[in-house]
Amino acid sequence: MQMRHLGLLLLVAALLAAPPAVSAWRPWPPRNETGGGAASGLGASKKFEGSSEFVKLQYHMGPVLATAITVHPIWYGPWPVEQKRTIRAFLRSLAPPPEEEARIPRPSVAAWWRTVRLYTDQTDANVSAAVSLGAEKSDARMSRGARLSRMDIQAVVRDAVGARTRPLPVDSGGVYLVLTSPEVVVEDFCGQVCGFHYFTFPSVVGYTLPYAWVGNSARRCPEVCAYPFAIPAYVHGRRPESPPNADVGVDGMVSVIAHELAELASNPLANAWYAGTDPSFPTEIADLCEGIYGTGGGGAYTGQLLTDARSGAAYNVNGAGGRRFLVQWVWNPVLSYCSGPNALDQ
């Protein structure tokens, strides 16, 4: 996929004055649903499992990530080794080598990614089956401070690809994943957003590159961004699920990372797959399934999950190295409803 083209520059010029707004997403159940009120309209609730008549997901002729995808993590803030291992394991689980995938029990992370792969561009090229973990960059000292605006995230990407030593490579399949530690406060984090994706502006970074940001909410708002491993106070009578990797913040991040990568692959330049009329505020393929992790999910209910017999941890997909994860479902364009590999009807 060609990342820099003339038509995109016109879009970029129009957006330079505004911060990126694609996918202002929160995984916890909305108040209007838990409070018993009826949600109305696409903006009021994005849970439309089995309700295709309300979903107007459209293709807007832009590219999808059809070439081999390389995910480059950028670790901003101090990150313990084990937390990095968990996130790396998830990224490696998206498209493991065939011999390794054969050893992973069903349902698998790779099977979850196959739903994302159903999305195509105008040449009928699907989202790539090849997803690999690429070079990484760390900024443990938080060179841009512990408080970041949305535009600062682009500066973090610029620092990583323009570093004097071991810069991250720039290529057509590169995706840049900025991961902030619990010490870092990002604009709108916890209040309106747990993660977002967009593309970098050439005037800021020098390239047009798809990127995403996800924050670790463990110290600030796990009940907001690590649901269902922490539960909001307004959800009564519900106990939090036990995280599969024994880390509420990181296990919560994994689902947000999955959400953002699915949308980044199917709508990298804000002109491919989404519902709604405003490309800066689209409803994308994971937004449509917010809060749904299993059959019957919706509202304050996650749906049917799997439970580890020893630890009691909740999960819905298996990954590389014996890891387990809980990831949100995404919209299936063939079935026209939310689905995942742990669905009871598969």
Domain ranges of the chain: 25-339
**What's the rounded Cα separation, in Å, for the pair 59 and 53?**
17
Query: Would you give per-residue pLDDT tens digits along the chain (346 residues)?
Result: 333 333 333 333 334 444 444 544 455 554 443 333 333 332 333 333 333 445 689 999 999 999 999 999 999 999 999 999 999 999 999 999 999 999 999 999 999 999 999 999 999 999 999 999 999 999 999 999 999 999 999 999 999 999 999 999 998 899 999 999 999 999 999 988 999 999 999 999 999 999 999 999 999 999 999 999 999 988 888 899 999 999 999 999 999 999 999 999 999 999 999 998 888 788 999 999 999 999 999 877 899 999 999 999 999 999 999 999 999 999 999 999 999 999 997 6
- pLDDT computed for residue 65 by the predictor: 98
C-alpha pair distances (Å), 172 with each of 5, 70, 117, 136, 141: 12, 9, 18, 17, 29
Asked whether the bond before 19 is cis by omega within 30 degrees of 0, the reply is no
Cα–Cα dist 208/67, whole Å: 16
The whole-angstrom separation of Cα 260 and Cα 122 is 22
- Count the neighbouring beta carbons within 10 Å of the beta carbon of residue 184: 21
The span from the first CA to the last CA of the chain, in angstroms, equals: 33
Which tokens is 17 given? Answer: 């004055």
CA distance 308 to 245: 11
The residue type at 40: S
User: What pLDDT was estimated at residue 193?
Assistant: 92
Please, is 103 exposed, middle or buried when counting C-beta atoms within 10 Å of its C-beta (0-12, 13-18, 19+)? Answer: exposed
Question: Residue 23: what pLDDT?
Answer: 44
Quote the CA–CA distance of 119 and 59 in Å, as a whole number: 9
Of 274, 292, 283, the C-alpha closest to 328 is 292
| Pair type for strands 195-199 and 58-59 | unpaired
Question: Per the structure block, which two tokens stand in for 123?
Answer: 């040449």
Contact (Cβ atoms closer than 8 angstroms) between residue 251 and residue 270: no
At residue 9, φ and ψ (nearest 5 deg) are: -60, -35
pLDDT at 21: 45
The first and second tokens of residue 43, run together, are 């903006």
For β-strands 306-307 and 314-315, DSSP reports them as antiparallel
